[in-house]
Amino acid sequence: MRPALAFKNSAARKLYLKLPHTTFRMVGRIRLISLVVLLILLPGSLKASAIPFELAHDDGNAGYGWSDFYPYAAAIRFSPPSGSWRITGIRLHAMWVLRGTSQVFYVQIWDAGLNTRYWSAFLPSSVFKNATLDWYTIRLPNVVVTGVFYVVIVPMFTLDGTQLWISIDEDPPIANNSFIVNVDDHTILTSLNATSKRPGDFMVRVIGEPVPTPPELKLSSIEFKEDETVVAFTYPGESLSFGARLIKPDGSFTEENVTRFGNSFIVRTRGEGLLNIFVVTPSYETIGSSVRLENGLRKLYGDLLANYTALKHSIGDMASQINSLLKDNEDLRLQLSQSQALIRIQDDRINELLGNVSSLSSELEKARTEVSGLRGENTLLKIGLALAIIVSFFLGFLEVRRRWGGK
């Protein structure tokens, strides 16, 4: 349940509500219509001498009060009647209750994309009277916005300390331009439109005037390093001064150093949260921009850097192995070349031996033929020799017989 301060009792209204119960919503409508007519009919006069106007959605009658713990905030959407609008102040119907130690509350200006264009902290004692419900004005340093914008009031509610209650007008018709937002992640949580459970309009108004569209302060780069984040913005116009604040996740903030190089503004930070940067122009207008930084990204960068270093070492080892393999491959290629030369020599020798074998085979065949012939001759010689021996033996036998017979 969000804290809420009700003003339903008519006596309480008369006691705390300083404004008369008139049709302020209609007055606001007439004021806006008059402004549009003036912008259409007298553009030259507005440029020459701009008169501050008040943009409003409420009718001046407070129904109940709203407050909440950080990071919840009241956001009111405005559509200025000109392309660019210089915000010089914020008027809000509220009550500040001091309990214990006083602490700051925040005022932010968001663009149509819910990006911060201005951020500042204020001491309640510098704006409000203690325990007094009334209209109060917060002066802003000429914040310039283009198109639809949101005024965001962060009450920083505490149970035992400072309490800032913002009035809500619940009388119909509802403008459907009031929201409860989370300033930590810049999201809209609840709309107080006519169809919601508690429809109403935050009693917050804008004092401002139309201005020519100024150059834009743009985010150009983000570099996450191991121990810091480097954020670069560009602004093509001239500047009198510049600065940056980092809103931490717990709602506290630190001032960050900004270095300018030509049209670039460099912020180096070690923290995380919402980084808001602003430039003050020569005409004393404040141009702002913002970017969300998370240490998780820096941790991811550190992990990636560690992985990169490990991969780099692995690549070095692999490169060394590849060089060794290339050398081995070159040696193998040389050995292969030598082996191929030896193979060619061996092939030549084998071919020569095959030729010799073929020649020897031919000679062997001839020798076999000659051997076969010699074998035939040998057989004949053996037969002839046997016959000669037989004949000789027979002749000898006859001669012996003859001699023995003569005796």
Mean pLDDT of 118-144: 94
Give the pLDDT band of residue 302 (cuts 50, 70, 90): low
Give the pLDDT band of residue 265 (cuts 50, 70, 90): very high
Strand-strand pairing, 201-202 and 163-169: antiparallel
Same domain, 200 and 232: no
The pTM of this model reads: 0.62
**pLDDT tens readout for residues 156-210:** 999 888 899 999 999 999 999 999 999 998 999 999 999 999 999 999 999 999 9
Q: Residue 246: which CATH number?
A: 2.60.40.1930
What sign for the dihedral angle of Cα 302, 304, 307, 311?
A: negative
300, part of any domain: no
Mean pLDDT of 81-107: 91
312, part of any domain: no
Mean pLDDT of 16-20: 36
Same domain, 80 and 27: yes
Same domain, 68 and 194: yes
Same domain, 73 and 25: yes
Q: Distance between CA atoms of 97 and 307, rounded to whole angstroms?
A: 54
11 vs 132, which has greater pLDDT?
132
Most confident of 284-293, 301-310, 366-375: 284-293
- Give the model's pLDDT for residue 50: 53
Residue 278: half-sphere exposure toward Cβ, Cα within 13 Å: 21
Q: Residue 193 contacts by C-beta under 8 Å, 6 or more apart in sequence?
A: 174, 176, 178, 199
Q: Residue 59 contacts by C-beta under 8 Å, 6 or more apart in sequence?
A: 23, 24, 25, 26, 27, 28, 169, 171
- Give the model's pLDDT for residue 13: 39
Beta strands in 155-270 (DSSP E): 163-169, 178-182, 187-191, 201-202, 204-211, 218-224, 229-234, 241-247, 253-256, 258-261, 264-269
75, part of any domain: yes
271, part of any domain: yes
Please name which of 21, 53, 55, 68 lies closest in space to residue 171, comparing C-alpha atoms: 21
The token duo for 193 is: 């439109």
Same domain, 270 and 158: no
Same domain, 92 and 238: no
- Give the model's pLDDT for residue 326: 86
The Cβ of residue 375 has, within 10 Å, a number of other Cβ atoms equal to 10
Same domain, 32 and 97: yes
Name the burial class of residue 145, with classes exposed (0-12), middle (13-18) and buried (19+) by CB atoms within 10 angstroms of its CB: buried
Block residue for tokens 């930590």: 184
Given a cut of 80, whether residue 18 has pLDDT beyond it is no
Q: What mean pLDDT, rounded, does the chain reach? A: 82
Query: Which domain, by its residues, includes 288?
Result: 218-293
Q: Distance between CA atoms of 208 and 143, rounded to whole angstroms?
A: 9
Given a cut of 80, whether residue 253 has pLDDT beyond it is yes
Q: How many folded domains does the chain comprise?
A: 2
- Give the model's pLDDT for residue 93: 97
Q: Distance between CA atoms of 148 and 81, rounded to whole angstroms?
A: 10
- Give the model's pLDDT for residue 307: 67
Block residue for tokens 């030896």: 342
Q: Distance between CA atoms of 224 and 349, rounded to whole angstroms?
A: 72
Q: Which of 211, 241, 265 is the last residue of a domain?
A: 211
Q: Distance between CA atoms of 161 and 223, rounded to whole angstroms?
A: 40
- Give the model's pLDDT for residue 15: 33
Q: In the chain, pLDDT over 70 holds for what percent of residues?
A: 83
Same domain, 51 and 151: yes
Q: Distance between CA atoms of 346 and 249, rounded to whole angstroms?
A: 83
Given a cut of 80, whether residue 311 has pLDDT beyond it is no
Q: Which amino acid is at 77?
A: R
For residue 126, the SS3 value is helix
**pLDDT tens readout for residues 345-387:** 888 888 888 888 888 888 888 888 888 888 888 888 888 888 8
Q: Read off the DSSP letter of residue 124.
A: G
Q: Which of 156, 190, 211 is the last residue of a domain?
A: 211
Q: Which of 260, 293, 326 is the last residue of a domain?
A: 293
Same domain, 222 and 205: no
Give the range among 40-44, 178-182, 212-216, 291-295 with minimum mean pLDDT.
40-44
Cβ distance 129 to 92 under 8 Å? no
Give the range among 116-120, 247-251, 262-266 with minimum mean pLDDT.
247-251
Same domain, 28 and 93: yes
Q: Distance between CA atoms of 180 and 189, rounded to whole angstroms?
A: 6
Same domain, 35 and 110: yes
What sign for the dihedral angle of Cα 136, 142, 147, 153?
A: negative
**pLDDT tens readout for residues 32-85:** 433 433 343 334 434 434 567 899 999 999 999 999 999 999 999 999 988 899
Same domain, 65 and 20: yes
